Amino acid sequence: MDKPNVLKNLPGVDVVLKGMDEGEYRLPRAYILEVIRSEIQRLREEILQSDDDLPEPDSLREQVLKNVEMWCKSRSAGSLKSVINATGIVLHTGLGRAPLSEITIDALHEAAQGYSNLEFDVDSGERGQRNDHIEDLLCALTGAESGLLVNNNAAAVMLALNTLSEGKKAIISRGQLVEIGGSFRIPDVMEKSGATMVEVGTTNRTHLKDYENAITDDTHLILIAHTSNFKIEGFTASPELTDLIELAHSHSIPVMYDLGSGALFDMEQFGLPPELMVSDIVEAGVDVVTFSGDKLIGGPQGGLIVGKKEYLERIKKNPMTRALRCDKLTYAAMEAALQTYTSSDELKQNNQTYALLTRSVEALEEIGTTVLNDLNADTIMALGLEMVDAETEAGSGSLPTEKMPSKALVIHTDTWTPNKIMRWMRSRDYPIIGYIQNDLCYFNLRAILPGQIEPLTKAFTELAKVMNS
């Protein structure tokens, strides 16, 4: 049959809809109708572009119906789903950064299931402030006079810059004009905040005199941006923080430090690479410090601002603060995350980020051994599966130049290509996200969570069967 007659037999939207059980899917009817229209249009274009092998007219309705039902079934399961992070990167931005601990999840559940005292003072019976739920903890942990939570660190930087230097000059070293993931660039953020950026020094060397020579009556801020996602080594220079603070304060200019990740404790205690501590920056005399809540803090997505009360009060009164504020779920999770900093033992036990970052290689080897022991010999042979030494990193710009030893399960097979294996792993109801290196499929064990060993083992078993079928 020729194309016009085939196209003539394409089913109408109502015909396809009658063949479906709409109640089977947790989707609005308008959405289902749009899926049907899109599938009919896709099939129409496929027929028009085909030179042969035209589908039988009688099969067109069934083709459309089958594809629509498959899509609706998949979409009903939810677009945002849990995955197994076999990349080894604990703070993987694409996979949601910091995994939350049980006590944090419990706090989320408590806040989500009903009403809460988000902005209500139960003692006085009057209106309260949502920021009160975390400010005292923030101040205690950082030594700051005041603190604030907004929806991410980019928002924290934007808000602080806008408050302290809108329409005025803000000085920053050229070596700190960083770009992080998602094209977040310090120069662009400064421009959008309304601050006029003044660059000083060079990429690798900036001296105190560079700052001093740039200060004018219109200078309202000195900004320091931590180069958290790269490192400049060799012929470098930068002024001591205390000297820069002294210079700024002698001109009545505040100093703001964007830490990016930021740590609330000495990470070397746990054998982790050192990272700037927020409390050290505050103690040095920096006026405003910004950092992420979902990186090394181990909490939900959020931007934390701490510092001197006079500047924080101005930031809190900025109209943008309301636009950038967090909801009750974020406050509940952040409070619970901050409460894990009572001791090193508490942190390792109830802060999932540090539980994963501090896992020993021996513990990772035990996970890999458990998986291999639970697989039969035929599966291991079919996949060429073995455990090898590996390396990984914290992720999200945290500890960027430091590699952590790890273990990984690696597939050696010529039956399927690495890309096909990874596509199959990602297509599961419980997707598994690994990586390809040296044309081999790697499944790093550092970020495998408790309870994920069994589904990982099951996936390897099913993969071997599918490959050999």
Q: What is the pLDDT of residues 190-221, one digit of tens each?
A: 999 999 999 999 989 999 999 999 999 999 99
Write out pLDDT tens, residues 227-257.
765 677 788 899 999 999 999 999 999 999 9
Mean pLDDT of 355-384: 96
Which CATH number goes with the domain that contains 380?
A: 3.90.1150.180
**Residue 326 and residue 448 in one domain:** no
How high does pLDDT run on average in the chain?
92
pLDDT at 5 (0 to 100): 79
Would 334 be classed as within a structural domain? yes
Q: Is the pLDDT of residue 442 over 60?
A: yes
What residue type is assigned to position 464 of the chain?
A
Confidence label for 41 from pLDDT (cuts 50, 70 and 90): very high
The CA distance from 402 to 409, in Å, is 22
Task: Enter the DSSP assignment of 448.
Answer: P
Asked whether residue 399 is assigned to any structural domain, the reply reads: yes
Q: How high is the pLDDT of residue 267?
A: 83
Whether this model's pTM surpasses 0.85: yes
Are 10 and 153 in a shared domain?
no
Average pLDDT over residues 317-325: 96
What residues contact residue 424 under an 8 Å CB cut-off, 6+ apart?
Answer: 416, 463, 466
pLDDT tens for residues 46-77? 888 887 777 787 788 999 999 999 999 988 88
Is residue 326 over pLDDT 90? yes
* Exposure of 317 in the CB half-sphere (CA atoms within 13 A): 7
Q: In whole angstroms, what is the distance from residue 174 CA to residue 400 CA?
A: 20
Name the residue range of residue 337's domain. 102-350
CB atoms within 10 A of CB 373: 8
CB within 8 A of 406, min separation 6: which ones? 88, 361, 364, 389, 390, 391, 392, 444, 445, 446
> Do 66 and 133 belong together in one domain?
no
Which CA distances in Å does 92 have to 83, 89, 302? 12, 5, 15
What torsion, rounded to 10 degrees, do the Cα atoms 214, 216, 220, 221 define? Answer: 10
In sequence order, which residues have a C-beta less than 8 Å from that of residue 50 and are 6 or more positions away?
Answer: none
Q: What would the pLDDT profile of 416-438 be if each residue is shown by its tens digit?
A: 999 999 999 999 989 999 999 99
What is residue 128's predicted lDDT score, i.e. its pLDDT?
93
In this prediction, residues 148-157 reach a mean pLDDT of 95
Whether 217 is in a domain gets the answer yes
Are 248 and 366 part of one and the same domain? Answer: no
In this structure, are 180 and 248 located in the same domain? yes
Return the pLDDT at 274. Answer: 80
Token digits for 192? Answer: 């959008």
Higher pLDDT, 138 or 78: 138
| Residue 97: inside a domain | no
Whether residues 175 and 318 share a domain: the answer is yes
Query: pLDDT exceeding 90 applies to what percent of the chain?
Result: 75
**What radius of gyration do the chain's Cα atoms show?**
27
Domain harbouring 211, CATH code: 3.40.640.10
Give the pLDDT confidence score for residue 230 in this predicted structure.
65
Going by their DSSP bridges, the two strands 404-411 and 440-444 should be labelled as antiparallel
Count of domains observed in the chain: 3
CB-CB contact of 375 with 385 (8 Å): yes
Tokens describing residue 421: 């294996």
